[in-house]
Structure 1
Amino acid sequence: MKIKAKLQLGLFFLFSVIVLLGGMGTYYLNQLKADSSKILRDNIESLEYVQGMQVILNTWTSEQSKQKAFEQLLDNQEHNVTEVGEKEATQVLRKEYTDFKKDTTANQLLKLNQALFKIAALNQQGIVRKNDLALKTAESASNYLKTVAIVCMLLTFTFIVNFPSYIANPIKELTKGIQEITNKNYEQRLHFSSEDEFGELASAFNSMAEKLNEYEHSNLAKILFEKSRIEAIINNLNDAVIGLDEKNRILFVNIVAIKMLNVQADDLIGNYAPDIALYNDLLRTLLNEKDGNKEIKIYADERESYFTKESLIVESNDKVLGKVILLKNITRFHELDEAKTNFIATISHELKTPISAIKMSLKLLENEKVGTLNSEQSQLLENIKSDSQRLLNITGELLDLTQVESGKISLTMQEVEPHKIIEYATSAVQFQAQQSNIELEVQLSGNLPKVQADAEKTAWILVNLLTNAIRYSPENSKIIVSAIRQNNMVIFTVQDFGKGIAIEYLEKIFDKYFQTPDSQKGTGLGLAIARQFIEAQNGHIWVESVVGEGSTFYFSLRV
C-alpha cells in the first residue's frame, strides 16, 4: 500500500471516530429529549387538566361558565389518554360528572373527586415510570459512549504512537544513510521491507550506493598508485617543493624541502604555513610574495648555497585550488658565473697591457723621426689605431660587467649635461645606423638641467639601447632619441619602429641572460648591465612595446 493511501486511511479512521462519537451522542440526546417530551406532553398535561377540574369543583356553582370550563378540561383529558387504565378512569370521570350534574350532593362530589384522583395517580405513576426509563436510557447512553470513547481513544492513541514512527523512522534511517555516504562509507545500505514509496526510495538509495562503491573501488587503486608515483617524483627532485592548499595549509613537502626547513614532516603537513613561519625564517621568506625572483642565500650541504623561488598558482574554473612553491638550487650556476666573472676580469686586465703597448707603438710609428710612411701605410696605421681603441673599449666594458656581477660597481658621479651624453652615444653608433639607412632623430627639450650621473656608464647605456634599436629596426626607418624633464628627473628615451616585444617578455627583458625567441646575436647581458648601472645611480629603467609597432626604452636620472 502506498504512503498516500495509508495517510488517507489513517485520516479516514480519525474522521470515522469523530463521526461515530458525534452520531452516538446525538442519537442518545434525541432519545432523552423524546422521553422528556413525552412526560411533558402526556402526563403533565393530564395532571394540569385534573388540577383544573379540582379547582372548579372546590368552587362549584351552577353557573354556566363553571360547567363549560369543567367540560372543556374533561374533553381535553379524554383526548390525552396515554397510560394504561387511564381511558377507563376517564370514562368513569365522565359518568360521575354526568351524575354530579343531576345530584350535587357531597357524596356525589366525593365520587367525582375520587375519579379525578385515580387519573392523577395513573399519570404520576406514568411520570415515575417514564423518568426511570429516561434514566435507564441516559445510563445506557453513558455506558455506550464511555465504551466507544475508550475503544476509540485506544485505537487513536495506537495510531498516534505508531503512525508517526512509520513515517519518521524511514526518514531517520535515510538521513543516517546519506551521512554515511557523505563520509564516503559506500557500503551503507537501507533495509525497508515495505512496498510503498519508502521501499522504492531504499531501492534507489542502495543502487546509488552500489554504483558509488563500484566507482570508488575501481578508481581508488589507480588514484593511490598515481599519488605514490607523484610523491616519488617530487621526493626525487633536486629542488625543494612545498605544496599549499587555498587556505595556506601545507599539503606536501619533499625530502629536500624538509632538510632545508629543518622541520619534521609531521610538523609541516596539514598545518597552517604562516603559523610555522613565525619561528622558521626560511618558510617566512618563501611565503613573502614581495621577494619576487630574488636570489635566496641559504647555508645548505655544509656550504653557502643560492636558490631562486618560483610560485605556481593552481586554478580550476577561475577558483584558486592552491599554490606550489619551488626552490631551485642555482649554486652551480652561481659558481660558474663567479668563475666566469673572475676569468673576464683577469683577461680584461691582462689585455690592457698589450693593448697599451700597441697604442704606444702606434704613437711611435706616427712620429716622423722614426720614419716617413706612405699614404697606404698611414691608412693601415689609422685602421690599427681604430681597432686597438675599439679593443680597449671592449676590455673596459668587460671590466664593467665584472663590476656589475660582483656587486662592486665603481661610479664617478658628477653633473653632466644630457645633450652631451646623447651626442656621444649617437656619434658612436652613427656609422652602424648609416649602414642600415636608419636615421637618428634627436629631440631635446630646451633648458634641460644637468643630471647627477656617471657620464661614461650612462653613455654606455644609451649606446647599448641605440645598438639594440638599430639591430631590430627595418632599413630606411628612423630612431628617435629624446630627453625631457619631469619633476626632479630627466627621462631619456630611445624609440624604434621595429617589430616590438611580446607582452609576456616585457617583465623579463632586463633579466640577466634572458633573450626573446626571435632575438638576434647577443649575450642577454646588455640590458641587465644597463639596469644595474641605472639603479646604482638612483635611477629607473623600463620599456613599453607594441608588437608590430616598435619599442620605446626609458631611463631616468636625478637632476
Structure 2
Amino acid sequence: MSIKIKVTLGVLFLFAVILVISGLGLYYLQRLSQDSKNILTDNYETLQYTKEIISQCDRLKTDSADALEIMEKNIRLQESNITEAGEGELTRSLRSVLNRIKVSHVDDVLLAELRNTCLSIQQINMEAIQKKNENAQQTSENASTYLVITGTLCVLAAFVFIINFPGYIGDPIAQLTSGIKAIANKNYEERLQFDRNDEFEELANAFNLMAEKLDTYEHSNLAKIIFEKKRIETIINRMTDPVIGLDEGNRIIFVNDEALHLLHLERTSVIDQYAPDIAIHNDLLRSLIKTSDPGKNESGLIKAVVSGKENYFSKEIIHVNYLPTGEKENINIGAVILLKNVTAYKELDLAKTNFIATISHELKTPIASLQMCVKLLQDSRVGTLNEEQANIAETLQDEVSRISKITNELLDLSQVETGNIKLNIKRADSYDIVSLATEAVKFQAERKHIIIDIEIEKDVPAVQADIDKTTWVLVNFLTNAIRYSAENGHVVVKCEADNRFVTFSVSDNGPGIEAKYLDRIFEKFFQIPGTASGTGLGLAISKEFIEAQGGKISAESVPGRGTTFTFQLPEGV
C-alpha cells in the first residue's frame, strides 16, 4: 500500500470521528431545542392568557366593556392553544362563564367561578411544564452520557492514531535525514533498512545505492587527493614569504619553512596543534593569530628578529569560505596568514626620513643667506640697480622663496614619518587649493597630453585646513591619476560642498583597482600587485595629513574604467 493511500485513509478516519461526534451532538441539541419550544408554545402562552383574564376580573365592575373585550380576546387565543388533557373542557367552561357574565349582571359568584376555572387551566399547564422539563432533563442527561461515551471512544481512537501515525510517516524521514547528514559528513558507509512495502523502501534502496557509489568514488580519488596535497605543500614551502594555514578550529594545518624559521619552531611541534596553545609560549605567533577571526584585519607592521637582524613584515589574513552544495550561506573553513618582508622598504623609509630631516635643516642656513643677499641687492642704500638687474633680483627672490617653501614641505613630510605632524590650520579658499595643485602637475600632464578638467561648484565654501598639506595631498592624487592614465586621456578634479564639508575628488580613466585591494591602498608599503613604481607611502602620508585635519579620505574604483580618490575637509569658520 502506497504512502498516499495510507495518509488518505488516516485523514478519512479522523474526518469520520469528527462527523460522529458532531452528528450526535447536533441530534440532541435539536431535541432539547424542540422540547424548549413546546414548553414555550404549548404551556407558557396559556399561562399568559389565563393570567390576563384573571387580571381583568376586578375591572368588570368599573369598566365592563373594555374588560370583556380583553377577556374575549384571550379566551379566543386560549381556544386555539389547547394542548393538554382536560384543558379543552376547562376552556369551554371558561367560555360558558364569560357568556353568562355578558348576559347577566356581574356578581362575585361568577367572578369566583371565572377565576377558579383559569386557575385550574394554569394548574394543568404548570404540571405539563414540570413534566416536559423532566423530559428535557432526561434528554440532556442521555445526550451527556452518549456524548461522553462516544467522545471518549473517538478521542481514544484519535489519540492512538495521532500517536502512531506521525511516527509511521516521520520515523523513516528522521532516519533518512540522519543518513543524509552522515553522507554529508563523508560517512559513506551509512545504510538505511526499511522493511515496508511503500515508497520509503524504494527510497532506502536508492539511498543505499547512492552511498555505495559515493564510497567507491571516495576511495578511488583518495590517491589523487593525496598527490594534490603534496604538490600544494611543495609550492607553499618554496614560497619566500612566511605562510601559515589554520582550519576553522584554529588548528595549524600547514606552515612553510620561512614561517617556521621566523617563529623558531619545529614542524612536528605545530602541525595539527591548536594555535592559541602554542602562542602561549610564542609572542610572535600570538600577534599573528589574534586577529584571525572573520571580518577582522590589521595593517600595522610586525617586527621580528631574523638571523640577528630586525625585520619588518606586513600581515595579510585571507579567510577561506566555502559554499557547500545545496546550501545558501558560506561557511568559514579556515584562514591563511601571509607575511611579506618589507624590511628593505622600511630601511629606505627611515633613510629617506633622516635624509629629508637632515637636508632640510642644512638648507635652512644657505637659504636664509640667499634671502638676505637678495634683500641687500634690492636695498637702494647698497646701490641702485638698472631695470634688467632689478628683474633678475626679483626673479631670484621668487626662486629663493620657492626653495624655502619646498624645504618647509620636506620638513612637514619628515614630521609625518616620525608621527609628529605640525599643522597650520586656518581658513583656506577651496579654489586656491585646486589651482595650486593643478598648476604643480601641469608639466606632467602636458608630457602625456592629458587634459585636466576642473569642475568647481559655484560659491563653494572655504575649508578649515592647512593649505600646504592639503595641496600636497591633492597633488599626490593628481600625480597618481596622470601616471596611470593613458596618453590623450582625461583627469577630472571636482570640488563641491557636502553637508558642512567640502569634498575634493580626482577621477581618472586608468585600469582601476580591484575591490579586494581598495581597503589596503592607504596602508604603508602596500603596493597593488603588478605595479612596480613607488614605495607605497604616498597614499599613507595623504591619509595622515587629511585625518589630522579632521577630514576623511576614501577611494572608489571600477576595474577597467578608472579610479576616484576623494577627501573631505570641514567648512571654514
TM-score when normalising by structure 2: 0.48
TM-score when normalising by structure 1: 0.49
